[in-house]
Structure 1
Amino acid sequence: MQLSVIICCHNPRMDYLARVLKALKAQTLSTDNWELLVVDNTSKDPVSASHDISWHPNARHVREGKLGLTHARLRGIAESSADLLIFVDDDNVLAENYLDVAVQIATDWPCLGAWGGQHFPEFEGGAPVEKWKVNQWTSTFSRDLWSNNYDPRVTPFGAGLCVRRKVAEQYADLVKTHPLRRSLDRKGENLNSAGDIDMAFAACDLGMGLGRFVNLKLDHLIPKGRTNDDYLLRLSEGSGYSQVILDALRGIKTSQPRRIDRIANFLKRLFLEPMERQLAMASEAGRTRAINELQQVRK
């Protein structure tokens, strides 16, 4: 078995998940060489009742009863068997050669512990007029990137994330050691997000590298609701929160800004467009929430 594909889902949009599975069914890598795990994270309507995966000889549904993406990922790691794991979100449509390319990278780059590729957004109802909203969901680049350091520019995202088993197990051990890591991922309606980065960084913990590769491609299905201002403000708040928590877990201390820094930030925001200003304020609110929580933990 060359790899395990793990789909973590919580109340997925059924038409999107159907497309995700259809793309997996069309992979050029023979199903004899990979397994498929669909981890249903307490969905209201069990995914196993609505999506048939019997077309795959090495596939099964798994029900994870603890709410939260971190719990679902950990269950996927525990249930999988291959040395290479690929995490596919329930709105990721992989290019037909994605698995083949991932296996080739694993062979050609034994020094890498985690890698990913390019993400092309497919917007429901067409792309938004605002370019920054399009950029929010786009992750493209023109050359392969790699590093042995904790470099955000090279760190792969959760969509289509490829990790070696020893990296995934290192991450699982970190979560067990420090439960605060569970707050880095989606849980129900909250939009915290950095668990994928933390998992990728586990590669560096083991002395391995990170990479992003041009030939690894997927389409990211974006429903209308994810381009409205309210959602993006919540996303910005969650990102600000998650960055502070991740920094703290990785030994980077963050404290409340000094009064002079707060004044400087306020003045900078005066020159931003109204929506940019709101996003900056939402991110700062998330950072403040995280700092307050960390202070409570330290008491």
Structure 2
Amino acid sequence: MPDKLSVIIATYNPDASRLRQTLEGLQQQSLSLAQWELIVVDNNSTQPLTIDLSWHPQAVIVHEARQGLTYARLKGFATAKNELIVLVDDDNVIDADYLHHVLEIFEKRTALGAIGGKSLPIFETEPPQWLKAFYGSLALRDLGDEAKIQAWENSYPQYAPIGAGMGIRKAALASYIKKAEDGQSMIADRSGSSLASGGDNDIVLEVLKSGWQVGYFPQLLLQHIIPQGRMQAGYLAKLENSTNNSWIKLLQSHGICPWPSIPAYTLPLRKAKAWLSLKAALSKSNYIKWRGYCGTMDALAVYKKY
């Protein structure tokens, strides 16, 4: 039977243990190896990527010199031979039936352009009690056991897929890829030590605006490995700040930001008031939330003379 799916792993200086778990999850897929190919995109790692993919007859490692997750994904899209694509991060362990379910969902629902499901944590160490408030920023989510399908409604859909484990119909990527090929401004995404994000959201919006539907399907289950370093207040504060800033810029770029711009000169006072109202000095959780607020305000600020 001919192959039907292309799995893309974009990676930069990956942790060997986590990447090994990701690949082991793929080796255990119930879908025959004859039905999917594996593309690993080495996004200019410090040392060239060396991993054993001999277990898969249709596996390839390709190199993308332009730094950033967006460029790595574009390289994967260009390399993919098949109509259906699944994005797997280098710290994801997908369920054994994941690829089978993706294929089944797309074959039954031809209007769907992108799909996703549950992303549950594997914590490498015991997480702090306050961490759950920031699951969304860590690409963790469980939206229940009922499938949800949404179309374009001039806003970002609640049940849109996240980048981890996203299944995409290649035809639905045409608008997103054309935007990149035409040299239009792309939403900044993870690059090196930067925690900027939004590339997967940009894909979702282009898919929706092209007339496709997106969906959440609970049978699409993956586990996201969360190391100790990502549970530290300093990291999460930077993550919340970058994520909120990127989110506003994404919505602005698509003309759907519900919040008005603010004059830049008001930033110090707004941040000072938020420091007090959020009681940022009293707990790590409050401080992280304050940093997220600052990221939002920075993105809304309009730098001009008044």
TM-score (norm 1): 0.89
Measure, in 2, the Cα distance between the counterparts of 1:32 and 1:191.
36
> Match of 1:26?
28
SS of the counterpart of 2:129? Answer: coil
SS of the counterpart of 2:178? Answer: helix
Task: State which of 164, 181, 203 in structure 1 corresponds to 2:186.
Answer: 181
Partners of 1:240 and 1:287 within 8 A in 2: yes
Corresponding residue pairs, total: 292
Measure, in 2, the Cα distance between the counterparts of 1:133 and 1:14.
29
Measure, in 2, the Cα distance between the counterparts of 1:73 and 1:134.
25
Higher alpha-carbon deviation: 248-257 or 25-34: 248-257
SS of the counterpart of 2:161? Answer: coil
Partners of 2:151 and 2:213 within 8 A in 1: yes
> Match of 1:143?
146
Alignment of 1:19-58 (within 5 A): 19-47=21-49, 49=50, 51-58=51-58
Alignment of 1:2-17 (within 5 A): 2-17=4-19
Gaps of 5+ in 1: none
Measure, in 2, the Cα distance between the counterparts of 1:133 and 1:204.
28
1:291 Cα deviation from its structure 2 partner: 4.3
Partners of 1:88 and 1:159 within 8 A in 2: yes
Cα gap change, 1:252 to 1:264, in 2 (>3 Å): farther
Higher alpha-carbon deviation: 276-285 or 86-95: 276-285
Task: State which of 169, 175, 183 in structure 1 corresponds to 2:174.
Answer: 169
1:160 Cα deviation from its structure 2 partner: 0.3
Partners of 1:127 and 1:134 within 8 A in 2: no
Partners of 2:275 and 2:290 within 8 A in 1: no
Give me the identity figure in percent.
33
Cα gap change, 1:98 to 1:157, in 2 (>3 Å): same
**Is it true that 1:190 corresponds to 2:194 in the alignment?**
yes
Measure, in 1, the Cα distance between the counterparts of 2:131 and 2:40.
34
Higher alpha-carbon deviation: 197-206 or 256-265: 256-265
SS of the counterpart of 1:240? Answer: helix
Measure, in 1, the Cα distance between the counterparts of 2:61 and 2:44.
12
Measure, in 1, the Cα distance between the counterparts of 2:146 and 2:183.
36
1:282 Cα deviation from its structure 2 partner: 1.5
Measure, in 2, the Cα distance between the counterparts of 1:176 and 1:241.
25
1:66-95 alpha-carbon deviations (Å, 9 max, x no partner): 100011010000111111110000000010
Alignment of 1:1-299 (within 5 A): 1-47=3-49, 49=50, 51-132=51-132, 135-136=135-136, 137=138, 138-140=140-142, 141-149=144-152, 150-177=155-182, 179-183=184-188, 185-252=189-256, 254-256=260-262, 262=270, 265=274, 268-270=277-279, 274-291=283-300
Give the residue type in structure 1 aligned to 2:82: A
Measure, in 2, the Cα distance between the counterparts of 1:129 and 1:248.
34
Measure, in 2, the Cα distance between the counterparts of 1:152 and 1:268.
30
Gaps of 5+ in 2: none
Measure, in 1, the Cα distance between the counterparts of 2:159 and 2:31.
26
1:156 Cα deviation from its structure 2 partner: 0.7
1:163 Cα deviation from its structure 2 partner: 0.7
1:127 Cα deviation from its structure 2 partner: 3.3
Partners of 1:77 and 1:169 within 8 A in 2: no
Partners of 1:194 and 1:243 within 8 A in 2: yes
Cα gap change, 1:142 to 1:14, in 2 (>3 Å): same
SS of the counterpart of 2:88? Answer: strand
1:178 Cα deviation from its structure 2 partner: 5.7
